[in-house]
Amino acid sequence: MRLPPFKVLEPGTKKSALLTLDKHNKNLKIVAGGTEVVVMMKLGLSAPLYLMSLKKIKVLRGIRKTKNEVIIKSSTSINEILQSPLINKNFKSITQAAKLLAAPPIQNRATIGGNILQDTRCLYYNQSEFFRSGLKPCFKVGGDICHAVKGGKRCFSVYQGDMVPSLISFGSKIKLEKKDSSRTVLLSDLFTGKGENPFSIQPNELLTEIVIPLHNCNYGSSYEKLRIRKGLEYPLVSAAVFLSENTDGNLDNVRIVIGAAASGPKIIENASIYLKRKNSSDEDVDEIANISDNLSEMVNNLSVSAAYRRKMVQVVTKRSLQNAFQDLNKGG
């Protein structure tokens, strides 16, 4: 499949990149690792006039620690995250997510920013132009039909980013910058829940930083995912868990985030109601697993059936919870 014609732009500074993005925003795609953008162009799903490479902008790469947080710059590769003692020491589930992301050749190229902002996917959308030419335009391409759900009134494409569930479970924020201003928001607020337009980011905004708060308490974390093969596979369902305890030994913070179950990550609200103690019962864990199932919006638009994924979301959630408890008991 041939790429459509385009012009490559290579700004050398962040300021220049923001000016370029402001000028060409709707006709431009950003390339950091290129692991998604190039594939989308080959499939005819994207035809930007300009590709803006971030490769020369050194200030968009690196990991550093401040007094209360760790900052990962958006063009930092997944492999750099895997090799970071800072991330390995403080954020176990983030390291797990990075390790389970595709295979080493992809990890060397893919960036944390690109993984966060990867588009939602659907079996009827992520296909060749020839395949799609036999179908009516769906919601994802501006149509009024969902091929996965007969009579569906919205887009059910699935967000399958590996890094986001763990990042959200740690309470991460992101920094978005544009020509004359910037804003910092919770990563969870980036997602609209709409498959056809999954991110609340403006066309002239650039994701520049991921900010992860440090925790001074005893805590545990875990990330689990279901995939068909060990390499090169998006999650079919995933779950990230963060648990922390107070000085009395009771859980005071429980965050559980389900991935690849809808058009954005699903957060189990008020999970601490069910999990109040380090020795929470099997019934409590089962209740959380049931909630993960109820939150899921799975339809038959990935490589395995929605029915199977619904069964497995409970399994993956329980497994991640159990591993997070083990991590908590070891002292984080």
Q: Could you tell me if 111 and 2 lie in one domain?
A: no
How far is the C-alpha of 178 from the C-alpha of 13, rounded, in Å?
Answer: 13
Final residue belonging to a domain, choices 9, 41, 58: 58
In a domain, 163, yes or no: yes
How far is the C-alpha of 156 from the C-alpha of 19, rounded, in Å?
Answer: 34
Q: Could you tell me if 166 and 247 lie in one domain?
A: yes
Q: Which residue type occupies 160? A: Q
pLDDT bracket for residue 122 (50, 70, 90): very high
Among residues 40, 35, 198, 224, the alpha carbon closest in space to that of 132 is found at 40
| Tens-digit pLDDT profile for residues 227-258 | 988 766 899 999 999 999 988 878 889 999 99
Query: The CATH number of the domain where 203 resides is what?
Result: 3.30.465.10
Domain that holds residue 282: 61-117+158-329
Number of domains in the chain: 2
Average pLDDT over residues 267-277: 83
Q: Could you tell me if 8 and 28 lie in one domain?
A: yes
What pLDDT is recorded for position 261?
97
Q: Could you tell me if 177 and 36 lie in one domain?
A: no
- As to burial, measured by CB atoms within 10 angstroms (0-12 exposed, 13-18 middle, 19+ buried), residue 301 is buried
The residue length of the chain stands at: 332
| Tens-digit pLDDT profile for residues 28-56 | 999 988 889 989 999 999 999 999 999 99
**For the ranges 161-175, 236-250, 278-292, 295-309, which has the lowest average pLDDT?**
278-292
* Backbone φ and ψ of 30, nearest 5°: -90, 135
Q: Could you tell me if 5 and 111 lie in one domain?
A: no
pLDDT bracket for residue 280 (50, 70, 90): low
The pTM score is: 0.95
In a domain, 100, yes or no: yes
Among residues 149, 105, 111, the alpha carbon closest in space to that of 30 is found at 111
Whole-number average pLDDT of the chain: 94
